[in-house]
Structure 1
């Protein structure tokens, strides 16, 4: 009869670590080939320097049935010089580069003069309540799970494309500052329509 050994308290941490490693390696193969897997949120998941001007980490779009919405993420500049985004485009809507600023004691959204500068060896976060890529008048609903393609244009004439997935978002109440030719709507909410 084979002899059974008991793993005493001294051996349990090694057994637990081995079991955890085995479980983790087994879970990585569980995804279906037709189910998209999210990209890792690390600099290596960004667009490589050879493929684009900047890296784009964790890009996403606020889902919206109509009107305006926005795209967000983190722009990564690994170069030794500053990079300026001067424009953005997508097939579902005309776009502008926007910022949030104080106007008459109120935080409002407006076109960002001079574009979005990503300093050398630095990142620039696009986020609700801050700088963002504004979709001005969506031609079709942008539903949670939709993947949209965007093209960034840079001050030196280069362009770069990236994709972003739409997500539901109920956050920052932002007012749109009219007067730069974008939309006749004086107020704009970044929270979903009821």
Structure 2
């Protein structure tokens, strides 16, 4: 399983709690054993871990990426957006509207509470690949960058796999 660990800056955790406009930009460097580390002066003890990332393989059209996000800090962390060279991305969720499950943009981003986990899973929150530039085949590796409130980033790689699940449709307005 791929696991990516990112060490964030203490100022990021404080600005996330305080909601201030001050930010600290972080840069990522790949390290051995499937770990990406983000550092900036001063180095902090805060970490956001992306565990078990994967993408639903798709020959065409929209698809989604999933993972378990683990906040090892004492402060809430908010993911406000995401990017990938494979496709434009949006943060999405599935919710009940008029008695049907529908996909909608996730207002306010994904908030990972202090010391908690947040699941990106089929039928729930996910990273929506809106227009993949090519088919995403099982075994393909896609890179992603999560942008955190306050300016930090988290890079990770996810492997594509076939998944029929509950026959979810990731087309807007479909269950």
1:141 aligns with 2:105: no
Which residue in 2 is equivalent to 1:65?
A: 59
With normalisation by structure 2, the TM-score equals 0.73
Higher normalized strand content (fraction of residues): 2
1:187 aligns with 2:145: no
Q: Identify if the C-alpha distance between structure 1 residues 172 and 156 changes in structure 2 by more than 3 Å, giving closer, same or farther.
A: farther
Which residue in 1 is equivalent to 2:78?
A: 84
- Distance in 2, Cα, partners of 1:104 & 1:176: 18
With normalisation by structure 1, the TM-score equals 0.67
* 2:5 equivalent among 47, 50, 54: 47
Q: Deviations over 1:37-62 (max 9, x none)?
A: x44xxxxx441536245100000000
CA RMSD of aligned residues (A): 1.9
* 1:95 equivalent among 89, 95, 106: 89
Gapped regions of structure 1 (runs ≥ 5): 1-37, 40-44, 179-185, 189-194
Q: Which has the higher contact order (CA 8 A, sep 6+)?
A: 2
Aligned residues: 139
Larger Cα-atom Rg = 1
Structure 1 residue 159: deviation in Å?
1.1
- Distance in 2, Cα, partners of 1:175 & 1:164: 20
Q: Identify if the C-alpha distance between structure 1 residues 47 and 78 changes in structure 2 by more than 3 Å, giving closer, same or farther.
A: same
Counterpart contact for 1:108–1:175, Cα < 8 Å = no
Aligned positions of 1:8-19 closer than 5 A: none
